[in-house]
Amino acid sequence: MGGEAEERIMQQHTVVGGGGLVLRALESGDPQGVPVLFLHGWSQRAASWERQLASPALAHLRLVALDLRGHGESEKPASGYDDGALWAADVAATLDALDLHGAMLTGWSYGGYVIADYLRHRGQDAVGAIHFVSAGTGIGIETPYRFRGNAWNGVLPAAFSDDAGEAAAAMRTFERNCFAARRDADERAMHANGAATPGAVRKALFRRRIDNDDVMASIRLPTLVTHGDADRVIDIETGRHIAAIVPGARLSVYAGIGHVPFWEDQPRFDAELAAFAAGLAGRSA
């Protein structure tokens, strides 16, 4: 990347989140545009959304990507990852500090849980729309739909190891399995994005036991569900379940795409996100 795109992604913010935790965020795009808050997945970081932050197709939007607690340049406390109120406070603090009221919350993978935490504890009045991307909402429970795919085979519990080599090897297996086809450069980029996440944080994120179907059924905001039908991390049946239970939700299925549709088919992803945001602008006009 270079020139204008590189300049767009350089704005950085510090936000004080739940429990006084220091969080980092990146921002690009038009400060007057429809705001979008990107929430990344397990063992990733705000830079996972770098291609969207630099995308000409999205430059008319106000784009903010948050390093979740325990990830990237945000602080990494020893505990609190099973407390939904803290995750909700992080999102609320970001919306308040950066004046992102009416934002679209776009949550990839684990980011779906963070969205559910926010809606459960803070309600829906401060946001304008929801976008679940290859996301989960129930965790640590038996589900009537297929949740996890086989991408986790050989990954857990090795990814939690204190042995750096063992953990790195497990994460490389996971990162390879995130894509429907081998993508060496993307796998390396994903590995670099996850390097700052301690094994203890990776493990702590799996300690939760929660069914968010009640929250999903209560959503009254425009909702888009994006999911690849070749996703081996979170099965497409999870995306279908979310779309079925959220009133009025629209499901966009990416044929032959894995867990990272915003990299695997960026043109389509960016175009659909822009169209969804245009609808929000029309609602608020």
* Arithmetic mean of pLDDT, 170-191: 96
Answer yes or no: is pLDDT of 2 > 90. no
Sequence length of the chain is 285
Distance CA 227, CA 94 (A): 26
* Arithmetic mean of pLDDT, 44-57: 97
Answer yes or no: is pLDDT of 10 > 80. no
Strands 11-16 and 223-228: unpaired
pLDDT in tens, 86-95: 999 999 999 9
pLDDT in tens, 119-154: 999 999 999 999 999 999 999 999 989 999 999 999
What pLDDT shows up at residue 3? 39
* Arithmetic mean of pLDDT, 241-258: 98
More confident residue, 227 or 7: 227
Which residue do the tokens 């297929």 mark?
Answer: 146
pLDDT in tens, 193-236: 999 999 999 999 999 999 999 999 999 999 999 999 999 999 99
pLDDT in tens, 253-279: 999 999 999 999 999 999 999 999 998
Q: Residue 131's closest CA among 91, 92, 101, 104? A: 104
Distance CA 55, CA 166 (A): 35
* Arithmetic mean of pLDDT, 1-26: 77
More confident residue, 124 or 7: 124
Mean pLDDT of the chain: 94
Distance CA 258, CA 263 (A): 10
Answer yes or no: is pLDDT of 175 > 60. yes
Answer yes or no: is pLDDT of 246 > 70. yes
What pLDDT shows up at residue 205? 96
The pLDDT confidence band at residue 282, using thresholds 50, 70 and 90, is low
SS3 2: coil
Which percentage of the chain shows pLDDT scores above 70?
A: 95
Q: Which two tokens stand for residue 242?
A: 């979310």
Answer yes or no: is pLDDT of 161 > 70. yes
Phi and psi angles of residue 55, each rounded to the nearest 5 degrees, phi first: -80, 125
* 151 touches 259 (CB < 8 A): yes
| Side-chain half-sphere exposure of 250, counting CA atoms within 13 A | 12
Answer yes or no: is pLDDT of 6 > 60. no
The pLDDT confidence band at residue 1, using thresholds 50, 70 and 90, is very low
Answer yes or no: is pLDDT of 17 > 80. yes
